[in-house]
Chains A and B, each alone.
Chain A
C-alpha cells in the first residue's frame, strides 16, 4: 500500500500542508508561523476558486478560451503577461511587508522563524525578477513593439503563446508552493552547496529550479521572437534608425535575452543534475566546484539586470518626448548608448562576486568595466534632461514616474559606482547596502518604468484613460515609500548589518528598521492606490473613452490607430518617412486618413498549443518536484506529441475580408470626425476623447 502510494504521489505527503507542523508542535513560534503560512495558502486557494466561480457564474469560459487563451494576437498575449505580472507583484509586495515587519520588531527575535523568513526572501526575489519584472516588460514589449514598427503581429505568434504558457506554468508552480510547501530558502540566486541535496533534501530547491527554468525557457523564446520581428517585420520605410527608441531598447533586450538566458539554463540544469542524478558539479566533495555555479549564474545575472532596465529606458524616452512636446534630444546618441550598454553588460559579471577570492587584477578589470557602463547611462540621463529643457512639460502620471525615476536612479547609479570599486565592495558586500542599491535601481528603474508605461499605454490598449487622481496618489506613494523603505538600508549596510538576517542584536539598527517598515507600509498603500485607480477607471470608462486613439498627442505609430486597435493593427501597412512617424503625419495634416484601397488580411489562426504547453509544463515541473515520475513521463510525452502534431496543421491563418476591414476602419474614421479635438492642457479632462488639435494650434514642436 505504502509502495503504491509513493509510486503515485512520490514524496508528497501530508506534511507538505502548511498547517501540518502546527498540529504536532504547539510552541508559540510554530503556531504563529503556521497561521501565517496557512493564511497565505488559503488566499491562493480562495483566490483560484473565486476566479473559477466568477468565470463560471458569468458564463465566460468559452469567451476566455476562444478570445484569450487560444488567441495568437500579440496584444492579448501582452495583456495576459501583464496580468500575471500584477498578480505576482501583489504577492511579492505582501511578502516584502512581512519581511520589513519582521525586521522592524526583529531586535532579539521577532515573530518569524528563520526558515519562514528564508522562504520569504527567496520567493520575493524569485518572483520579482522572474515572475513580475520579466512578464511585465515582456507584456509591454509584446503589446507596443509591433504597433510601433507597423507590423500586424510578431513573427511567431504561436511561439509567443508557448512563451506565455511557460511563464504561466512557472508562476503557477510558485503559487502552488504556498499550498504544498515549502519553497527554497536558498535565496533567489540559489547558491550551492547550500542548495545541494545533502544540505537541502526537501522539495524547496526543486520548486525554485523548475520555476526558474520554465521562466528562462520562456524568456529565451520571447527574445528570439522579438528580435526576428524587429529585424524582419518593420513597415516599409522603417529603417533601423527610424525606429522609436522603445523598439530599439526592445531589440537590445531581446538580444540580451537570447544570449544572456543560456548561462542560467546551464546553471540550473547542472544543479538539477546534481540533485536528481547524483552528479558532482557543485558539490563540496569528489571534485565538484561550486564556484562554477556562481560564475555561470552571474554570467546570466548581469545581462539580466540590463534586460530589466533597458525597456524602461525606452519607455522613459517615449514619455519624456511626448510630455515635453518635443522630439527626443540626441536620438542617435541614445541608440548608440543602448547598444553600448547591451554589449558592456556581458563584460562585468564578476562584480557580483568580487570577494570570491580571485586576484586583484581580475577584480580591477571587471570593476573598471562596471564603471564604464556609467558612461552610456549618463549620456542617456543628459539626453532626457535636454529633452525636457525648454519643452512644454505636462506633469502627467507617466511623467511623475519618469521624473521620480531620473532623480532616484541617478542616486542608485552613484551607489553602484561605489560598489564597483572592489576594495569598497569588500566592506559592504552581502550587507543591506547592496540590498538598498539594487532596489534603488530596480524600483525607480524597472518598476516605475512599468507603471509609467501602464499609465501611458493603458488608454491605447483598453480605449479609456486611467484615472489620474489615484494615479498621482499611487505614484507619490511609490516614490515616498521607496525612499523611506530603502534609504535607511544604505545606512544599515554601512553600519554593518548583513542582508537576509531574520533577527539582530544591535539596538542602533532599530530606528532605521522601523523607518524602513513604515516605508513598506507606504508601498502597500501605493499598491492599494493602484487597485483603486483601476477600479475607478473601469467605473468611469465611458466618460474617459479615447476611441480616436491619440490621447497624449503621441509621436509614434501606435497612436495612429484606434484605441483599442483592431486585431490586424493597421488596415494597410503604413509607409514611414522619418522618426516620430505619426507626428510627421500629423504635421503634414495626413493623420486619420482612409487608404485608397483595402485588401484581405491574413491573420494567424487560434491555437491551443500555448495552453497545452502551460498544462504539461506545469505537470512536468510539479512531478519533478515531488518525484512523481509517471507524471513527468506522461506530461513530457504529451508535450512532444503536441509539438509534433502542430507541425501537421496546415490551417494556420485566417482571412479577414477587405470589406470587413473597410467597415471597421471607416466606422472609426467617422467617430474621429465627430470627436472634438482638445488642447494638450486638457488631456486629463473628460473632454479628451483621443484627438489632439493639429500641432500648429497646440504647443511648440
Chain B
C-alpha cells in the first residue's frame, strides 16, 4: 500500500499533532530529569526531595495522559475521564487503606518493619 497523499488541511493537522507529541516528550523529559538530577547531584532535605519526586511523577503522569493518551477535559471525553477518576478513587482507597492499616500494625506490633 502506498502512502496516502494529504491535502492542505490534513497536512496542517498532522504537523500540529506531531508537534503535540514532541511537546509531550519534552515535558516528560524535563519532569524526568529534575528528580534524577536532584537525587544524583544535590543534598537537599529528604522530605522536600520526596515531595518533589512525587509532584514531578504526578505531573508526568498527567503529561502522558494528555499528550500520548489524548485524555482531555473536552466534553466528549468525559467517559474515559470518569473511568480514570473512578480508578484513581479505588486506587486511593485500596492503597491508602493498605498503608494505613499495615503501618498502624507495625507501630503496634512490629516496630522492626518500619522503614
Contact = CB atoms under 8 A, between A and B. Distances in A.
- Whether A and B touch (Cβ < 8 Å) is answered with yes
Contact of A346 (B93, B105, B109): B93
B74 interface: no
A291 B100 contact: no
A295 B97 CA distance: 9
B108 interface: yes
B113 A346 contact: no
B105 A358 contact: yes
A295 B79 contact: no
A255 B108 CA distance: 35
Interface in B44-102: 79, 86-87, 89-90, 93-94, 97-98, 100-102
A299 B94 contact: yes
A263 B94 contact: yes
Contact of B94 (A231, A292, A346): A346
Given A231-B79, A259-B87, A299-B98, A358 B104 contact: yes
A350 interface: yes
Contacts of A255: 86
A347 B86 CA distance: 14
A188 interface: no
A292 B102 contact: yes
28 contacts: A231-B79, A255-B86, A259-B87, A263-B94, A289-B102, A289-B113, A291-B102, A291-B105, A295-B98, A295-B101, A295-B102, A296-B98, A299-B94, A299-B97, A299-B98, A346-B93, A346-B94, A347-B93, A347-B97, A350-B97, A350-B101, A356-B105, A357-B105, A357-B108, A357-B109, A358-B101, A358-B104, A362-B104
Nearest to A262: B94
A231 B97 CA distance: 30
A259 B102 CA distance: 21
A194 B93 CA distance: 29
A358 B109 CA distance: 9
Nearest to A255: B86
A359 B79 contact: no
Contacts of A231: 79
A226 interface: no
A349 B37 CA distance: 41
B83 to A, nearest CB: 10
A359 B93 contact: no
Contacts, number: 41
A295 B109 CA distance: 16
B101 A362 contact: yes
Chain A interface extent, by class: 20 to 34
B77 to A, nearest CB: 14
Contacts of A299: 94, 97-98
Nearest to B91: A259
Interface in A17-49: none
Contacts of A346: 90, 93-94
Given A259-B90, A346-B90, A347-B93, 5 more contacts: A289-B113, A291-B105, A299-B94, A350-B101, A357-B108
Contacts of A362: 100-101, 104
Interface in A373-418: none
A362 B86 CA distance: 24
Query: Which 4 A/B pairs are nearest by Cβ-Cβ distance?
Result: A358-B104, A259-B90, A346-B93, A359-B104
Nearest to A231: B79
Contacts of B79: 231
A343 B94 CA distance: 12
A343 B86 CA distance: 9
Nearest to A365: B100
Contacts of B102: 289, 291-292, 295
Interface in A283-313: 287, 289, 291-292, 295-296, 299
A646 B94 CA distance: 36
Interface string A248-271: 000000010001000100000000
A259 B97 CA distance: 15
Nearest to B113: A289
A357 B101 CA distance: 10
Interface in A213-263: 231, 255, 259, 263
Contacts of B89: 343
A160 to B, nearest CB: 21
A564 to B, nearest CB: 34
A233 to B, nearest CB: 14
Contacts of B109: 357
Contacts of B110: 289
Nearest to B103: A358
B108 A358 contact: yes
Interface centre among A295, A349, A358 (most CB of B within 10 A): A358
Nearest to A291: B105
A291 B103 CA distance: 11
Interface string A340-357: 000100110110000011
Nearest to B112: A287
B112 to A, nearest CB: 9
Contacts of B113: 287, 289
A346 B92 CA distance: 11
A300 to B, nearest CB: 10
A209 to B, nearest CB: 21
Nearest to B98: A295
A356 B113 CA distance: 16
A217 to B, nearest CB: 19
A287 B112 CA distance: 9
A140 to B, nearest CB: 25
Contacts of A356: 105
A301 to B, nearest CB: 12
Contact of B108 (A292, A347, A359): A359
A362 B110 CA distance: 17
